[in-house]
A = this chain, B = another copy of it.
Amino acid sequence: MPVPSGEIILNAFTMNTPVHLTTGLWRHPRDRSRRYLDIDHWIELARTLEGGGIDAMFIADVLGVYDVFGGSPDAALRTGAQVPVNDPLGLIPAMAAATEHLGFGMTASISFEHPFPFARRMSTLDHLTNGRIAWNVVTGYLASGMLNLGVPGQVAHDRRYDIAGEYLRVCYKLWERSWEDDAVILDAAGDVYTDPAKVHPIRHDGEFFRVPGIHLAEPSPQRTPFLYQAGASPRGLRFAGQHAEGVFVASPSVSILAAQVAAVAEAVAAAGRDPRSVPVINQQTVVVAETDAEARRLFSEYLEYADPVGAQVLMSGWTGIDFARLDQDRVLERTDSDAIQTTVDAFTSADPTRTWTPRQIGEYAAIGGDGPVLVGSPETVADALEEIVAASGAGGFNLAAVAVPESWEQIVGLLVPELRRRGRVKEAYRPGTLRAKLGAADRLQAPHPGATITLDPA
């Protein structure tokens, strides 16, 4: 991964909310985002994606509300910007029952649940999906979420990664070492369901967690779910280098993406792993139609419904800048603040020929959030995706929707067939678990720390 053939990984990037990355489109007459409360909506979507050969549906999550903009949740509520937002977990088995190959990723933060019950939840999902689960390991997120857990400030950033590292070690011990493959023997004559000699208490006694017992679930097809991570800081990159099997980024430009791919490869190599084994998956919003002209017309139509204020609400949460307090028509300068410098650099990277006001950023980000949008015919968009991969070394894309389910129908009906013609998307799913479908073995292999972890002796 990316496999030698030059295969491009395509995930459908979504969230259990009516407004994920594109704001205001819930008002479009053809949009059905409001159906997020209906399990049939998700089942239909999963079938559409599997019919189109998408590798996995990835369900983002936040356990908090975007309250930086204006210092309150009011604007997020008004624009529906990732609120209401429901739990992703329950969607997955229902979609898995209606599909055979599609993978299912979910974001879960190590801040919200103890690893012992969490490991069982993931094992349960891996069983119920026949090994099609991926976990996006998040160490913490919106401050508003942490506050509601009684944590007055976010735990120091680097400390969070220390906790996350031990959290994963507890999970690896439970998933990979507690039950041997042949522990469940189902010996009816001898009346033995499980051979207790092949089930081991993990005896974990660490700095943050103490878990003496056995895992409660028997070995699932992947044991450890396929691991995604999205850390971009130096400490986050080191964590990803050690643990991630894929890395999510949302790059504003190919040049930044290329730098991120290089940084991930370096971090993976520094952890003693093969950098080619860890694809970087870039967030990418697309508008695809039969012709370039029709795609442009459709994009203009979408823009009529896009909501720049909602986009600023999301941008405020991501950057820490309260866009409500900025002069909407004053050009942002790198010298305004550290946060604004980072934001200006990102947007300048996307288009060095121009400046940006807060209003312009809201208008730009209203479709696709913190990433560029590709608009065009299947040939045009496929060309652009191939160019991004060639210029950056990225392994694939988290494709985000503009209108639901219309964007997914464009992607599977027009874009995927074109990418298949070019040999960049496989003709059929590979057999086995999600990990195997993505070109690796069914289960983690050395030198990944999940494959090499050992239990302390009794």
Contacts of A128 in B (CB 8 A): 37-39, 90-91, 94
CA distance A90 to B307 in the complex (A): 35
A125 at the binding interface (Cβ < 8 Å): yes
Find residues 163-196 in chain A having any chain B CB closer than 8 Å to their own CB: 183-184, 186, 188, 191-196
On whether the beta carbons of A112 and B117 are closer than 8 Å, the reply is yes
A410 at the binding interface (Cβ < 8 Å): no
CA distance A3 to B65 in the complex (A): 42
Contacts of A144 in B (CB 8 A): 213
Most buried by B among A37, A87, A93, A186: A87
A147 at the binding interface (Cβ < 8 Å): yes
A233 at the binding interface (Cβ < 8 Å): no
A149 at the binding interface (Cβ < 8 Å): yes
User: Given A63-B120, A114-B112, A39 and B193 touching (CB < 8 A)?
Assistant: no
Find residues 77-106 in chain A having any chain B CB closer than 8 Å to their own CB: 77-80, 83-87, 89-94, 96-97
Quick one: copies of this chain in the complex? 2
Find residues 15-39 in chain A having any chain B CB closer than 8 Å to their own CB: 16, 18-19, 24, 26-27, 34, 37-39
> How near does chain B come to A252, taking the closest CB pair, in angstroms?
26
CA distance A212 to B16 in the complex (A): 23
Contacts of A214 in B (CB 8 A): 65, 73, 77
A123 at the binding interface (Cβ < 8 Å): yes
Please name the residue on chain B nearest to A28 by beta carbon: B188
User: Given A39-B128, A148-B213, A211-B148, A193 and B123 touching (CB < 8 A)?
Assistant: no
Contact partner of A216 among B27, B80, B85, CB < 8 A?
B85
A298-311 CB mask vs B (1 if < 8 Å, else 0) is: 00000000010100
Contacts of A158 in B (CB 8 A): none
Please name the residue on chain B nearest to A85 by beta carbon: B216
- Beyond contacts A86-B217, A116-B149: 19 other A-B pairs, Cβ-Cβ < 8 A, are A27-B191, A63-B116, A65-B213, A65-B214, A73-B213, A75-B196, A77-B193, A77-B199, A77-B214, A78-B193, A83-B194, A84-B194, A86-B127, A89-B89, A90-B93, A94-B97, A97-B97, A150-B210, A150-B211
CA distance A90 to B77 in the complex (A): 28
CA distance A333 to B63 in the complex (A): 54
On whether the beta carbons of A78 and B127 are closer than 8 Å, the reply is no
Report the interface size for chain A: residues with CB under 8 A from the other chain: 77
A74 at the binding interface (Cβ < 8 Å): yes
A124 at the binding interface (Cβ < 8 Å): yes
CA distance A201 to B147 in the complex (A): 12
User: Given A124-B86, A191-B27, A150 and B114 touching (CB < 8 A)?
Assistant: yes
On whether the beta carbons of A40 and B92 are closer than 8 Å, the reply is no
A121 at the binding interface (Cβ < 8 Å): yes
On whether the beta carbons of A212 and B147 are closer than 8 Å, the reply is yes
User: Given A77-B199, A194-B80, A121 and B213 touching (CB < 8 A)?
Assistant: no
A338 at the binding interface (Cβ < 8 Å): no
Report 23 cross-chain contacts, Cβ distance below 8 Å, ordered by A residue.
Answer: A18-B193, A26-B193, A34-B186, A64-B216, A65-B216, A73-B213, A74-B196, A77-B195, A77-B196, A77-B199, A84-B218, A90-B125, A90-B128, A91-B93, A94-B96, A94-B97, A94-B128, A97-B97, A144-B213, A148-B211, A150-B209, A150-B210, A150-B211
